Amino acid sequence: MAKQFARIEPAHAAFIGQQHIFFTGSAAATGRVNISPREIGAFRVLDPTTVAYLDQTGSGNETAAHLRLPGRLTIMFCGFENVPVILRVYGKGRSLPRGTAEYAALLATGYDNQEPLGVRQIIRLDVELVQTSCGYGVPLFDYREERPTLRRWAENKGEDGLAAYRREKNVRSIDGFDTGVAAGQLALTD
């Protein structure tokens, strides 16, 4: 039932564009595996072999830490409505922290320089494999709306509060791995 592809085909990009959520999975050679839900508005198919997403400030920063180690990242989309499909994008990822030239360039070309408050980095993935499978076991869910909670939290913190939060909570993973984001964050506020 599973089919593999070397790149994101037009049908894959169309399927991705119809979703409301995606999930990222990352891990180091040791420690915990991280799986996180993400909002689809942050995701971009840059070309058939490159994708990216704007990563919001959160309670941890596991993905960035894992990408500094082996760099493996899997992004998964599930067809919760209509077509029962699971689409996984496998590859090597990198964190592009705010304040870096690479971040600014991708923000300009991929996001029209639109940066929601609370973004701490862009995660970029060089696609090595795309796999689709049936998704027959994925339940049907109806999308209602995006939660405003994270946006309101970031607004209440403000830029300085977000930078302080990142220094406190996002410098190391739960397994003690360096996330590499702190240096880029410190340059913006200090």
**pLDDT tens for each residue of the chain, 190 residues long:** 799 999 999 999 999 999 999 999 999 999 999 999 999 999 999 999 999 999 999 999 999 999 999 899 999 999 999 889 999 999 999 999 998 999 999 999 999 999 999 999 999 999 999 999 999 999 999 999 999 999 999 999 999 999 999 999 999 999 999 998 765 543 443 3
Print the SS3 string covering 120-131. EEEEEEEEEEEE
DSSP secondary structure, 79-119, as one string: --SSS--EEEEEEEEEEEETTSHHHHHHHHHHHTT---TTE
Check residue 83 and give its pLDDT. Answer: 87
DSSP secondary structure, 127-174, as one string: EEEEEEE--TTSPP--------HHHHHHHHHHHHHHHHHHHHHSSB-T
- CA 82/CA 106 separation, integer angstroms: 32
Check: CB of residue 103 under 8 Å from CB of residue 122: yes
Which amino acid type is present at position 109?
T
CATH code, domain carrying 118: 2.30.110.10
Q: What is the CA radius of gyration of the chain?
A: 17
Check residue 4 and give its pLDDT. Answer: 98
The region, left, alpha or beta by phi > 0 then psi within -120 to 50, assigned to residue 99 is left
- CA 6/CA 103 separation, integer angstroms: 26
Nearest Cα to Cα of residue 187 among 75, 64, 104: 104
Query: Whats the size of the chain, residue-wise?
Result: 190
Check: CB of residue 151 under 8 Å from CB of residue 33: no
**Which tokens hold the place of 40?**
């689809």
Tell me which residue range forms the domain holding 98. 3-189
> Considering its fold, how many domains does the chain have in total?
1
